[in-house]
Chain A
Amino acid sequence: MSRAPLSLPASVDALQDALAGERYIAERGLAVPIYLALKLRRPLFLEGEAGVGKTEVAKVLAAALKTTLIRLQCYEGLDVSQAVYEWNYPRQLLEIRMIEVATDLDRTAVTRELFTEAFLVKRPLLRAIEETRERAPVLLIDEIDRADEEFEGYLLEFLSDFQVTIPELGTIRAAEPPIVIITSNRTREVHDALKRRCVYSWIPYPSFEKELRIVSSKVPGASERLAHQVTAFVQELRTADLYKAAGISETLDWAAALVALDRDVLDADVIHETLGILLKNQEDIDSIRGERVSTILARALA
Chain B
Amino acid sequence: MGSGGSGGSGSFGSRPWLVPNLLLFGRVLRAAGVHVHRERMVDAIHATEWVGVKSRADLRATLCALLVHRHDDLPLFNEAFDLFFRAHGASELHMPLFSLGERARVVTRRDAGAPHRLDVEEPSADPAAAAAFALGAYSTVEVSRTRDFADFTATELEGARRLLLRLRWEPGIRRTRRWERSLRGDIDMPRLLRKNVMRGGELIELPRRVRREAPRPIVLLADVSGSMDRYSRMLLAFASGLTRSARHVESFVFATRLTRVSRYVAATGGHRVVSRMVRDLHDWGGGTRIGEALRTFNTTWARRVMRHGPVVLIVSDGWDRGDPELLGRELARVRRRCSRLIWLNPLLGSASYEPLTRGMQAALAHIDDFLPAHNLKSIEDLAHHLRHGITQHL
A residues near B (Cβ < 8 Å) are 10-13, 28-29, 31-33, 35-37, 39-40, 42, 45, 47, 75-77, 79, 81, 86-87, 89, 92-93, 96, 99-100, 107-108, 111-112, 114-115, 148, 150, 168, 186-189, 192, 195-196, 198-202, 241-243, 283
Contact A33 B197 (CB under 8 A): no
- Within the complex, the shortest CB–CB distance from A291 to chain B, in Å, comes to 18
Contact of B68 among A28, A42, A200 (CB under 8 A): A200
A204 to B58, CA, bound (A): 17
- Within the complex, the shortest CB–CB distance from A221 to chain B, in Å, comes to 34
Chain A minimum-CB-distance residue to B47: A36
Contact A47 B50 (CB under 8 A): no
Question: By DSSP majority rule, is chain B's interface helix, strand, loop, or mixed?
Answer: helix
Instruction: Note all chain B residues with C-beta closer than 8 A to A13.
Output: 5-6
- Within the complex, the shortest CB–CB distance from B212 to chain A, in Å, comes to 9
Instruction: Note all chain A residues with C-beta closer than 8 A to B276.
Output: none
A239 to B179, CA, bound (A): 43
Contact A111 B299 (CB under 8 A): no
What 15 additional pairs, Cβ within 8 angstroms, besides A42-B43, A89-B189? A29-B57, A29-B61, A36-B50, A39-B50, A40-B43, A45-B69, A76-B177, A77-B178, A79-B178, A89-B192, A115-B197, A148-B176, A187-B307, A189-B304, A241-B299
Chain B minimum-CB-distance residue to A50: B303
Contact B193 A92 (CB under 8 A): yes
Chain A minimum-CB-distance residue to B299: A243
Instruction: Note all chain B residues with C-beta closer than 8 A to A186.
Output: 71, 304
A187 to B302, CA, bound (A): 9
Instruction: Note all chain A residues with C-beta closer than 8 A to B307.
Output: 187-188
- Within the complex, the shortest CB–CB distance from A89 to chain B, in Å, comes to 5
Instruction: Note all chain A residues with C-beta closer than 8 A to B305.
Output: 188
**Residue B40, interface by CB 8 Å:** yes
Contact of A192 among B69, B176, B295 (CB under 8 A): B69
Contact of A36 among B35, B51, B192 (CB under 8 A): B51
Q: In the complex where A12-B58, A111-B197, A187-B304 touch, is A199 in contact with B176 (Cβ < 8 A)?
A: no
Contact B201 A107 (CB under 8 A): yes
Find residues 172-215 in chain B having any chain A CB closer than 8 Å to their own CB: 176-179, 189-190, 192-194, 197-198, 200-201
Contact of B200 among A93, A111, A188, A200 (CB under 8 A): A111
Which of the listed residues A47, A196, A202 has the most CB atoms from chain B within 10 Å of its own CB? A202
Contact B200 A108 (CB under 8 A): yes
Contact of A200 among B65, B197, B201, B298 (CB under 8 A): B65
A76 to B307, CA, bound (A): 11
A33 to B66, CA, bound (A): 8
Contact A89 B193 (CB under 8 A): yes
Instruction: Note all chain B residues with C-beta closer than 8 A to A86.
Output: 190
A42 to B69, CA, bound (A): 13
Find residues 107-146 in chain B having any chain A CB closer than 8 Å to their own CB: none
Instruction: Note all chain B residues with C-beta closer than 8 A to A10.
Output: 2, 4-5
Q: In the complex where A100-B201, A107-B200, A186-B71 touch, is A150 in contact with B190 (Cβ < 8 A)?
A: no
